[in-house]
Structures are given as C-alpha cells and as structure tokens.
Amino acid sequence: MIHKLKSTATPYSVVAFISLLCVTLFIIQLEGQLGYRRSAISHGEWWRLFSGNLLHTNALHLLMNLAGLWVISFLHENHYRLANFSLIFILLGLLQGIGLYLFFPALGAYVGLSGLLHGLFTYGALRDIQSGIRSGYLLLVGVCAKVLYEQVYGASEQITQMINARVATEAHLVGVISGILLFILFRLVRRLTH
C-alpha cells in the first residue's frame, strides 16, 4: 500500500515572503498603481481587487498588519502547510476585493491586510472547532462580536489616527464572511473528493 506523504513544509516562508513584499511595496509607494480603487477596477484594472491588500497607508499600519499576519500564522500553524496557506491567502485576498466591489459600492478606495486577516483568523477558528479545539469557539465568537460592534459603532478613533485613514470596517466584515465561505467550500471539496 502506498501512503500519501503529507507535506511538512510550514507556512512561514510564505508569511516571510508576504511580509517582504508588503514592505517593498510600501517603500516604493505603488498605491496609485496597485491600491484598491473602485473606479480603476471598473475600467478593467482587475488586479487591484487583490493587490490593494498588500499596500498600507503608513509605517504603523504596515507594522500592525504584519504583526497580525505573524500572530495568526503562529496561532493556527497546526492547520497550515506551505501550499494550503498560499492558496488560502490568495483566495481570501480575491474574495476580499470581490466582496468589497460587489457589496460596498460606496467604498471608493481601500488598502491593507486587515480584511484578509479577519478572514484568515475566522478560517483558523473554524479549523480549530473542526479539530476539536474548544478555544476555536471563543475565537469565532470574539471575531464576530468585534465585527458586529464595528458595523454598529464604527472603528476606534485611536486606530483611525494611527493609520492616518478611515478604518474600512466593511473589509473586516467581508473578511469574516470570506473566511466562513472558504471553510465551507473546502469542506465540500473534501467530501466530494473522498
């Protein structure tokens, strides 16, 4: 009997690559060419649906988002390998851009990883629950409560000042929904292929 070899490659090389890419894009300031801009997307610049996730308004915004990426990666590292983390990151980034474009037409511009990070956190919490890790319930309830609070009351004024821009709470909502949808999609694919 031949056993499938499970990859032991951790996601940290991808996380390091994403971090380096975000820092590089911040240094060379490509927001005009890569930032999520609804009008530009409407005129065929579809790459902005994904690339806007990789840009940041200032150094503090960049550092907060990259810290979040590393913390979430450490928190749920038992669920990720190199290939599946890469796929999840790309799909969440695309869902983020598409969700904002389709459901939030008033949002003209967006940059940052925070929406995608909300999706990654939600996906990881659901995988925790699936794996029997009870703290996953607490994580899921916490992220949903945070996003619902933001939808009603908005983001903290302190965070708005720190990143020097309005916090796109819509992106956080889209991120959570994207994480849930991706989890459901992967479960369906697993069931159909087994």
Are 11 and 77 within 8 A, CB to CB?
Answer: yes
pTM here is: 0.92
* Residue (of 106, 146, 158, 102) closest to 122 by Cα position: 146
What integer best gives the mean pLDDT of the chain? 93
| 131-159 tens-digit pLDDT | 999 999 999 999 999 999 999 999 888 88
